[in-house]
């Protein structure tokens, strides 16, 4: 057989190691993969050679040969709003950190909803919310890939998901306001294309209904989560003929904007308006009046998602589908007061 080695190949391969160590490449492979069946003496020789040559196995060759890999793809819908939210960073942070410690390669994919993704070479996919990109999820599922959806409770698909219980969270906020004697409670909602916003609105409605308070659609302000629209909503709200005495806002950053508007207008929080936010964004702590809010466990959601995915990626087992709903927690601070 003719060896056609062309020039000094830069990359040292398993073969070079084998030659230097005086063993077969198989033995080297065994050492790399920590298989027990290698004589101590040989193992040392090989490890020595590896060190000398600074050999690092080619992941591509490994993956080609084994067919497996531990590449996790994080699919983030390219939705403007998602990137102006406190939550995106927290999620990325949580996912990034855990992948790092689990030795998973994180492929980050900021995607157009209609683009068709190439999952080849990926073993698991985490969808950070589903906003108009359900088709991509279905595609991944159809390919038999391990999938986990985060921040969106997907009921009608056989897929694992871990989300926050936005409905109950919103209910707890509104219940609290009601317990303080408020009846005229407004809601500034987020972008209703997101499930989170829709559920928070739903929770708001439910709480009112359960407490026999009629839902006044004039008290519901729809926004895109931006501070600008929150401001507009706040301005409308305070100039209403019959203004609400309390408001539940779908995000802390919007709630803070509402507080700002109030202050500008010479009004006081919570004297003139009780406010509850959603997120537990640290920014809520700083203003003159600390924000009462609904804490959502973002980091935990991210971690749960990754853990779940890595379980699904385990070659042998085929765990049951699990749909997790994480509880929120009402954090009472200073932005609400009982109705006089």
Partner DNA sequence: CTGAAAGCGCTAACAA
Partner DNA sequence: TTGTTAGCGCTTTCAG
Where residue 316 falls (left for φ over 0; alpha for ψ -120 to 50; beta otherwise) is alpha
Which listed option, a second copy, DNA, none, makes contact with residue 2 (CB within 5 to 8 Å by class)? DNA
Site for a second copy in 40-59 (CB under 8 A): 56-59
Site for DNA in 60-79 (CB under 7 A): 61-62, 64-67
Q: How many residues does the chain have?
A: 340
Binding mask 247-266 for a second copy (x = CB under 8 A): ------x---x--x--xx--
Binding region for a second copy (CB under 8 A) out of 153-161, 178-186, 223-231, 308-316: 223-231
Residue 23 binds to a second copy (criterion: CB under 8 A): no
Q: Is 14 in the site for DNA (CB under 7 A)?
A: yes
Residue pair 301/91 in contact by the 8 Å Cβ criterion: yes
What is the size of the binding site for DNA (CB under 7 A)? Answer: 35
Residue 149 and residue 323: Cα distance in Å, rounded? 9
**Size, binding site for a second copy by CB under 8 A:** 52
227 interacts with a second copy by CB under 8 A: yes
**Sites of contact with DNA (CB under 7 A):** 1-6, 9, 11, 13-15, 23-27, 29-30, 32-33, 36-39, 41-42, 55, 57-58, 61-62, 64-67
**Sites of contact with a second copy (CB under 8 A):** 10-11, 56-61, 63-64, 67, 69, 74, 76, 78, 83-84, 88-89, 92-93, 96-97, 99-100, 105-112, 118-121, 144, 227-228, 231, 253, 257, 260, 263-264, 282-283, 285-288
């Amino acid at each position: 057989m003719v060896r056609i080695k062309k020039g000094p190949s830069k990359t040292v391969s398993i073969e070079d190691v084998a030659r230097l160590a005086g063993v077969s490449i198989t033995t080297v492979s065994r050492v790399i993969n920590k298989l027990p069946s290698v004589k101590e003496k040989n193992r040392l020789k090989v490890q020595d050679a590896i060190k000398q040559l600074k050999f690092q196995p080619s992941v591509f060759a490994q993956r080609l040969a084994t067919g497996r890999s531990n590449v996790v793809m994080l699919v983030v819908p390219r939705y403007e709003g998602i990137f102006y939210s406190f939550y995106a960073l927290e999620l990325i942070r949580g996912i990034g950190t855990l992948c790092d410690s689990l030795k998973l390669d994180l492929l980050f994919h900021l995607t157009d909803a209609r683009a068709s993704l190439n999952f080849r070479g990926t073993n698991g996919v985490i969808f950070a919310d589903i906003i108009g990109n359900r088709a991509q999820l279905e595609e991944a599922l159809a390919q038999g890939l391990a999938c986990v959806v985060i921040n969106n409770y997907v009921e009608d698909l056989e897929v694992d998901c871990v989300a926050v219980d936005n409905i109950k969270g919103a209910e707890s906020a509104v219940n609290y306001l009601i317990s303080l004697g408020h009846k005229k409670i407004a809601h500034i909602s987020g972008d209703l294309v997101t499930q989170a916003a829709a559920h928070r609105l739903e929770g708001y409605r439910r709480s009112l209904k359960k407490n026999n308070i009629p839902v006044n659609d004039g008290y519901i302000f729809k926004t895109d989560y931006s501070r600008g629209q929150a401001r507009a909503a706040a301005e409308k709200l305070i100039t209403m003929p019959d203004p609400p005495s309390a408001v539940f806002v779908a995000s802390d950053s919007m709630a803070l904007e509402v507080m700002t508007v109030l202050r500008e207008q010479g009004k006081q929080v919570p004297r003139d308006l009780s406010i509850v936010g959603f997120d537990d964004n640290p920014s809520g702590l700083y203003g003159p009046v600390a924000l009462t809010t609904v804490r959502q466990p973002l980091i935990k959601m991210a971690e749960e998602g990754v853990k779940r995915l890595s379980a699904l990626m385990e070659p042998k087992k085929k765990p049951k589908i699990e749909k997790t709903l994480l509880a929120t927690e009402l954090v009472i601070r200073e932005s609400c007061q009982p109705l006089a």
